[in-house]
Amino acid sequence: MGTSLEPTHSRLPALPPRPERPDPDHADCRNVASILARVGDKWSVFVIMMLSDGPKRFNELKRMINGISQRMLTLTLRGLERDGLVTRTIFPTIPPRVDYELTDLGRGLQQPVKALGEWAMTHQEQIASARTRFDERNSG
């Protein structure tokens, strides 16, 4: 006798009713997730690391962060500025000079971001080896 694709259980418990007001813990998780998405983004990590020793101009940051496009740097800086982590100062020169600098809030991220970056640098070979072993075990 073959396998039937018909469900064997048709009496399922009802889902609990949704609360009228959202659970504050879930709202906190969503808020924290959006913050972690910003500060955990690879480009944001690089920008924060590069700004940790003082203000930088846009092109200076672009040269320092290998592989970042102009558009991605613009979006990253804008997002960091929106979140209050970076300030943008325009100097009225010709041509205008724009500096980016960490705010006090952004400087509070320096140590954890630096630690994360250093950890990644120190363990990159181990991670690459683990990935290779995993891929070999799970290919084909």
pLDDT tens for each residue of 40-64: 788 999 999 999 999 999 999 999 9
- CA–CA separation, 62 vs 47, rounded Å? 9
Task: Look up the CATH number of domain 26-138.
Answer: 1.10.10.10
- CA–CA separation, 134 vs 122, rounded Å? 20
- CA–CA separation, 101 vs 85, rounded Å? 9
pLDDT tens per residue across span 60-115 = 999 999 999 999 999 999 999 999 999 999 999 998 889 999 999 999 998 898 88
Scanning the structure block, which residue is given the tokens 């920008």? 47
Cβ(88)–Cβ(100) below 8 Å: yes
